[in-house]
Structure formats: structure tokens, C-alpha cells
């Protein structure tokens, strides 16, 4: 996890990226925090938002790809 904004060649921001071949993943925290949008912090909401990209990247490690539909 890093507390910096991330992007890739296809997107102007990403919540996370995984490389199943290396067994590595990275999550960008800023977009998940209310403070990023000038709002007061909310730990329970941040934690709930964090779980979703973690599960998403775990799916990539398990061999799942993005849905085309």
C-alpha cells in the first residue's frame, strides 16, 4: 500500500494493480480517503473502501480477469 496517487498507461488513476506472475500487488490509498476530496476523515468508511480493491486484486492472483460486459 502506498499513500500516493497511481496511474497506468490506460487510466488516469487506479486503486490498485496486481502482477500475478510476480506475486506482487500495490494499492493506492488517496482515492479511498475522504480527505482526498476535502472532506473529514472517516475510518470505518476508509476501511470498507479498502477491502474492495484488496479483494479485486486477490481475484487477479486467483486467475480472474476483468469482465468485458
Do residues 57 and 65 make contact, with C-beta atoms less than 8 angstroms apart?
no
Instruction: Establish whether 35 is a catalytic residue.
Output: no
CB atoms within 10 A of CB 63: 7
Catalytically annotated residue among 57, 61, 66, 67: 57
Residue 27 phi, psi dihedral angles, 5° rounding: -120, 135
The residues assigned a catalytic role are 57
Amino acid at each position: 500500500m502506498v499513500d500516493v496517487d497511481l496511474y497506468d498507461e490506460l487510466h488516469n488513476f487506479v486503486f490498485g494493480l496486481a502482477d500475478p506472475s510476480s506475486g506482487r500487488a500495490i494499492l493506492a490509498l488517496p482515492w479511498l480517503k475522504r480527505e482526498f476530496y476535502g472532506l473529514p476523515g472517516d475510518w470505518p468508511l476508509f476501511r470498507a473502501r479498502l477491502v474492495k480493491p484488496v479483494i479485486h486484486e486477490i481475484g487477479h492472483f486467483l486467475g480472474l480477469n476483468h469482465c468485458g460486459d
